[in-house]
Structure 1
Amino acid sequence: MVAKSGEITGLVGPNGSGKTLIMKCICGFFSSYEGEIVLDGKPATEEERKNIGAIIETPGFIPYYSGYKNLKILAQINKKCSKQDIYDSMNTVGLDPCDRRPIRKYSLGMRQRLGVAQTLMEDPAILIMDEPFNGLDAEMTEKLRNRLNEEANKGKTIILSSHNPIDIEMLCNQTYYIQKGSIK
């Protein structure tokens, strides 16, 4: 699979086909696999993987902390973004960074939006988005589609999976079909 800068690459296939596993391999969560992961025409390196923003499966956050506090903790790992970057990222997905409500009181859609905010907050060159539209209403889905197109237009490499063929058709420059863990 080759994903290029400035393009959105789609991964499609039935449940259990391996889309999420491939994304985890790209992110470096698994190192034992056949084949080669190529990003922007080059084999993926650990250095490139430091510049990946990813939302894979259900976003996991500390349920007793607010959305802002969760993102602040995550931002301290790489020290790449400021408080304002976190605020901007949350506002982009329609979440109030001043909302002190704990994550456990967020709806599914709100948790998903927070996951998207976390993916974007450090302005990574590569975005890995596994079913990012899950739980989002029509308005937020349209905003996220627009944002992903904006990110691609900035030259970012985006890899996206979705069960909604409309998302793939509207967004992706190229699409790979995954079946039984292999790219077809």
Structure 2
Amino acid sequence: MALIEFKNVSKSFKSNPIFIDVSIQFEKGKIYGITGNNGSGKSVLFKMICGFIPPDKGQIVIHPDYLEPKNKFPKNFGIIIDRPGYNASKTGFDNLKSLAIIQNLISDEEIKEAMKIVGLEPENTQKVKHYSLGMKQKLSIAQAIMEKQEVLILDEPFNALDRESVDNIRKLLLSYKMNRKTVLLTSHNQEDIELLCDHVLRIENHKLTETK
């Protein structure tokens, strides 16, 4: 059984079709790149996978290992879609701590470790309102990985990162694949797609077509 499967999925907004009769499968332990022009529906695709918005027609099936009874949102998914909202007057660690408390799955040390992995200093007392765009992006990635999620849904994870940080996050994602974890990502940088992705899917003419 596929990790994620689209069965004849269609989605429109105000009579404007985004997807028409899309059927596709995503398998465990691979990195998938989603490409397409601005406004083609990359973020919509991710939001439907995560249960944030429903399809108009068809079905999106998540493997039962990643579902909980009576919860439409998949579990064990780390997500970056749009730009996450943080409390600007708190530090990066305090923001992540506030989010971690929701499920209470990880310790302070595990939060700090996730920050270090992406290149942030957990003891930094700088408030998020003073973070650079690159630091905010690293904080988003730390949030997506800190609970050791099995599936990452990452919309433009490399935005605003310097070259060293890009290389670091690429290595991180490849290590995820080596550990049989699954990554779906978008990137405007073709190099990211070519270096990382086992499969590349392009959104065009309201369809999702495999190009690699």
Give TM class, smaller chain: over 0.9
Distance 1:168 1:175 in 2: 7
Quote the offset at 1:179 in angstroms. 2.7
Identity of aligned residues (%): 41
Aligned position for 2:51: 28
- The one-letter amino acid paired with 2:100 is A
Cross-structure match for 1:108: 133
Q: TM-score, normalised by structure 2?
A: 0.81
Equivalent residue for 1:170, pick from 186, 195, 198: 195
Counterpart in 1 of 2:174? 149
Matched, 1:138 2:163: yes
Aligned: 1:5 with 2:28: yes
Higher relative contact order (CA 8 A, sep 6+): 1
* SS of 2:201 mapped into structure 1: strand
Give 1:2's aligned amino acid: Q
Larger radius of gyration: 2
State the number of aligned residues: 182
> Runs of 5+ in structure 1 lacking a partner?
none
Is 2:153–2:184's contact at 8 Å kept on the other side of the alignment?
Answer: yes
Within 5 Å, give how 1:1-184 maps onto structure 2.
Answer: 1-39=24-62, 42=63, 46-47=67-68, 49-179=74-204, 181-184=206-209
Quick one: distance in 1 between partners of 2:158 and 2:140?
11
Unmatched 5+ stretches in structure 2: 1-23
Write the distance in 2 (CA, Å) between the matches of 1:126 and 1:180: 27
